[in-house]
């Protein structure tokens, strides 16, 4: 992979492995700064094709220059994830961003019940986005309402789950793989999965493994990208 000033202006597609703790916006800013400072550019268009939550890691498609016009096309691709649910507890954010607010016994849950429940999520389903998210209602991001304790009526959205497999069950932890359509919140899948079992659940870990034909295995760390661009 050989980068140049001209290639970034004409359009590069960069696969980045977003680390935990970074927002997708921070990754874009870092990539933009590296390109501008390395090639003495005053400005360069840089964008990403699909947000990952700060607590998630994995594949982020970064587009530069003229290729930013194709961001929507990449956003519409099928996404692949793997991760871990924590069963028997809930959090307001549906993940580890907020503290546990309820706990339930999971002594009656077995692998047969879990497999049967997972099958209920396959196909077209309606999903309510998490209140702790960057979606906007009346021009304001949902997490701003959530952090102030304000109530917002959320509309369900149709999504498609193409694959939902439970790979390892060591309760309270459940390792899973999911392939889904654009707009799917895996945190909401975790929460809804727990509701269906009547014991609660939240997302303990999440890695995005693919976007369309693009794979995490081909992605660069931010440090690796920095080394390549400096050569």
Go through 12-27 and write b for each residue having 16 or more CB atoms within 10 A of its CB, e for each that does not. bebbbbbeeebebeeb
Tokens describing residue 76: 């519409």
- Whether 53 is catalytic is yes
> In which element (H, E) is residue 142 found?
helix 142-147
Catalytic pick among 53, 192, 223, 224: 53
Q: How far is CA 6 from the centre of its chain?
A: 31
Q: Which long-range contacts (CB under 8 A, 24 or more apart) does 4-11 make?
A: 4/39, 5/39, 5/41, 8/35, 8/39, 8/41, 8/44, 8/64, 8/65, 9/41, 9/44, 9/64, 9/65, 9/66, 10/65, 10/66, 10/67, 11/63, 11/64, 11/65, 11/66, 11/67, 11/68
Q: What is the DSSP letter of 172?
A: T
DSSP state of 109: -
What is the Cα–Cα distance from 163 to 155, expressed in whole angstroms? 24
Cα–Cα distance measured from residue 59 to residue 50, given in angstroms and rounded to the nearest whole number: 9
Tell me the catalytic residues. Answer: 53
């Amino acid at each position: 992979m050989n980068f140049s000033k001209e290639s970034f202006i004409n359009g590069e597609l960069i696969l980045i492995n977003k680390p935990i703790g970074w927002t997708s916006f921070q990754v874009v800013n870092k990539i933009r700064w590296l390109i501008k400072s390395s090639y003495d550019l005053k400005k360069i268009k840089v964008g990403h094709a699909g947000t990952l939550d700060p607590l998630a890691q994995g594949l982020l498609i970064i587009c530069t220059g003229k290729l930013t016009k194709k961001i929507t096309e990449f956003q519409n691709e099928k996404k692949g994830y793997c991760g871990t649910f924590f069963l028997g507890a809930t959090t307001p954010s549906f993940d580890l961003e907020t503290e546990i607010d309820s706990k339930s016994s999971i002594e009656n849950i077995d692998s047969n019940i879990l497999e049967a429940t997972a099958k209920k999520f396959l196909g077209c389903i309606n999903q309510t986005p998490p209140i702790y998210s960057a979606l906007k209602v009346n021009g304001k991001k949902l997490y701003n309402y959530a952090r102030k304790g304000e109530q917002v009526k959320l509309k369900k959205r149709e999504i498609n789950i193409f694959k939902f497999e439970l790979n390892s069950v060591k309760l309270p932890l459940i390792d899973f793989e999911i392939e889904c359509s654009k707009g799917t919140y895996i945190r909401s899948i975790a929460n809804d999965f727990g509701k269906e079992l009547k014991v609660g659940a939240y997302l303990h870990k999440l890695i995005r493994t693919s976007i369309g034909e693009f794979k995490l295995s081909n992605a660069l760390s931010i440090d690796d990208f920095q080394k390549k661009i400096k050569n």
